[in-house]
Structure 1
Amino acid sequence: MRVGAVGLAVKAAMVTASALGALVAGSGTALARPELVPIAGDYSPGTIVVKTGERKLYLVLDGTHAMRYTVGVGKAGRQWAGTTKIDGKYKYPAWAPPADVKRDKPNIPDVIPGGSPQNPMGVAAMTLAGGEYAIHGTNVPGSVGGYVSYGCIRMLNADITDLYERVSIGTTVVVTR
């Protein structure tokens, strides 16, 4: 029974990836899209794996397949590695800068409302247990794919929307360098 469910998940992911690719190709947009790719490692289905050095996030579908997304990761001195879980999911969240961001940018507002073009969370955010980090969208798509954040994992708004629908609170997140 489980093999059939995994096979259906892989097929659904391939259909989704194909449909997304067609939408992007039809729009003339050259933005990265999730791709169905092979993955090695001993990860359970449903696990999110962030490979900081690759600037890629993988959502493990089964023992050999994952959806791969391009992400922005922590800049030099702001990278981290470890295992955590998603402890919250929010659409259009307001954002209050952490102390280190406020120290580096003292003129930044204390709170930026959700939906504001200046809000660095984009359309959605999934907070990670044990710190001030999140996997979130961005209103600056050109920053995705670089070493750009204070430790958060930054995704295109379309990609965070896709991932947000695929995972739940409690999902394991493994971040490697």
Structure 2
Amino acid sequence: MEKIVTRRQVLSGAFSTAALALAGCTTSTTAPPTPEPVQPRVDASFLLNYGPRPQEEFPLPAIDPRVLAPEFRRQRVAYRTDEEPGTVVVDTSSFYLYLVEPSGTAMRYGVGLGRQGFEWSGRARIAWKRPWPTWTPPDEMIARQPELAPYSAENGGMAPGLGNPLGARALYIFQGNVDTLYRLHGTNEPASIGKAVSSGCVRLINQDVIDLYDRVRSGSSIVVT
């Protein structure tokens, strides 16, 4: 009997020790370290093309890479066309603007386009262009949105700046000597690139419209498909 009791005591002590060991595996007085969130990798070309522009009249902030999908980022691509070099081609089916270059290439930009009912197409010319333009909404737009009346032509339009819908640059589109009232222009809404949201104008990221502005001369042809 004494031998049996001793064995039970030994087993009991072993189980108690095991229980304490297991308890030590499941409790801790120190919380585990919180892992740092993984930051998206930004390549050097994105920083070069879409970084801040502190030298501008109204300094531009950098573009968040999460806002601009890779397919809509500025790049040189192979492009076969019968259009002359220097021609701007807007492909509304793919939300791309191409600036035709010699030797079968083009500089391609992602764009935002006119929403349903405001689309347009045809051949025209870029009559002139302006940096940091004043925005004057046409009478038809003011009729739809009376809150824009303070920016009418009679009131001098909206002054240039980061909040101006035309952004950092505007290129004015004419057919013959008639202003179509459509523009190629910058935007303060980078998330709108690749979408049909405008009142008919073709909008680009501000950094992209600056690049396009510097490459395109006044009088150049523009084709909107």
Aligned to 2:93: 53
1:29 to 64, 86, 104: 64
User: What SS does the aligned partner of 1:162 have?
Assistant: helix
User: What SS does the aligned partner of 2:48 have?
Assistant: helix
The structure, 1 or 2, with the larger RCO (C-alpha pairs under 8 Å, 6+ apart) is 1
Q: Aligned letter for 2:46?
A: G
Determine if the alignment matches structure 1 residue 115 to structure 2 residue 161: yes
Count of residue pairs the alignment pairs up: 158
Task: Quickly say closer, same or farther: Cα 1:19–1:60, change in 2 above 3 A.
Answer: farther
Aligned to 2:15: none
CA contact (8 A) 2:162 2:188 kept: no
Aligned to 2:198: 149
User: What SS does the aligned partner of 1:50 have?
Assistant: strand
CA–CA distance in 1 between the matches of 2:145 and 2:50? 38
Task: Quickly say closer, same or farther: Cα 1:39–1:156, change in 2 above 3 A.
Answer: same
Q: Aligned letter for 2:165?
A: P
Greater gyration radius: 2
Q: Aligned letter for 2:145?
A: K
Q: TM-score, normalised by structure 1?
A: 0.82
Aligned to 1:76: 116
User: What SS does the aligned partner of 1:84 have?
Assistant: strand
Deviations along 1:93-129, one digit per CA (max 9) or x if unpaired, are: 1111012211221111322111151x11000100001
The alignment-based identity, stated in percent, is 41
Determine if the alignment matches structure 1 residue 175 to structure 2 residue 220: no
Which sections of structure 2, spanning at least 5 residues, go unmatched? Answer: 1-42, 52-61, 152-156
Query: In terms of mean alpha carbon deviation, does 91-100 or 157-166 score higher?
Result: 91-100
Please give the root-mean-square deviation of Cα atoms over the aligned residues, in Å.
2.1
Task: Measure how far apart 1:143 and its partner are.
Answer: 1.3
Q: Aligned letter for 2:64?
A: T
CA contact (8 A) 2:112 2:194 kept: yes
CA–CA distance in 1 between the matches of 2:78 and 2:208? 19
Q: Aligned letter for 1:79?
A: E
Aligned to 2:172: 127
User: What SS does the aligned partner of 1:102 have?
Assistant: helix
CA contact (8 A) 1:45 1:60 kept: yes
Task: Measure how far apart 1:156 and its partner are.
Answer: 0.3
User: What SS does the aligned partner of 2:99 have?
Assistant: strand
Q: Which runs of 4+ in 1 moved over 3 A?
A: 18-22, 24-29
Task: Quickly say closer, same or farther: Cα 1:62–1:140, change in 2 above 3 A.
Answer: same
Task: Measure how far apart 1:166 and its partner are.
Answer: 0.3
Q: Aligned letter for 1:142?
A: A
Task: Quickly say closer, same or farther: Cα 1:28–1:167, change in 2 above 3 A.
Answer: closer
Task: Quickly say closer, same or farther: Cα 1:169–1:28, change in 2 above 3 A.
Answer: closer
CA contact (8 A) 2:187 2:203 kept: yes
CA–CA distance in 2 between the matches of 1:68 and 1:24? 13
